[in-house]
């Protein structure tokens, strides 16, 4: 499921990402790293999440 997340390019290191499931459970992740991958003319933003979220909520 996490691989299919489409987080916006404006998300920043330290942001909190909450994943809510259908059974009222919520899992909090924090963004710990952003990396741009460039291959030829294509670019891709990779985001590394930490679980459980260790950064303070914004």
What is the pLDDT, as a whole number, of residue 49? 92
pLDDT, tens digit, for every residue of 1-58?
A: 566 788 888 999 999 999 888 788 889 999 999 999 999 999 999 999 999 887 555 5
pLDDT, tens digit, for every residue of 26-40?
A: 899 999 999 999 999
What is the pLDDT, as a whole number, of residue 52? 87
What is the pLDDT, as a whole number, of residue 54? 74
DSSP per-residue codes, the chain: -GGG----TT--TT-EEEEE-TTS-EEEEEEEEEEEEEETTEEEEEEEEESS--SPP-
What is the pLDDT, as a whole number, of residue 5? 80
On whether the CB atoms of residues 43 and 7 are closer than 8 A, the answer is no
């Amino acid at each position: 499921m996490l691989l299919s997340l489409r987080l916006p390019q404006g998300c920043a290191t330290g942001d909190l990402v909450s994943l809510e499931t259908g059974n009222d459970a919520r899992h909090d992740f924090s963004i710990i790293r952003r990396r741009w991958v460039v291959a030829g003319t294509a670019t891709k933003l990779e985001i590394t999440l930490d679980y459980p979220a260790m950064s303070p909520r914004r």
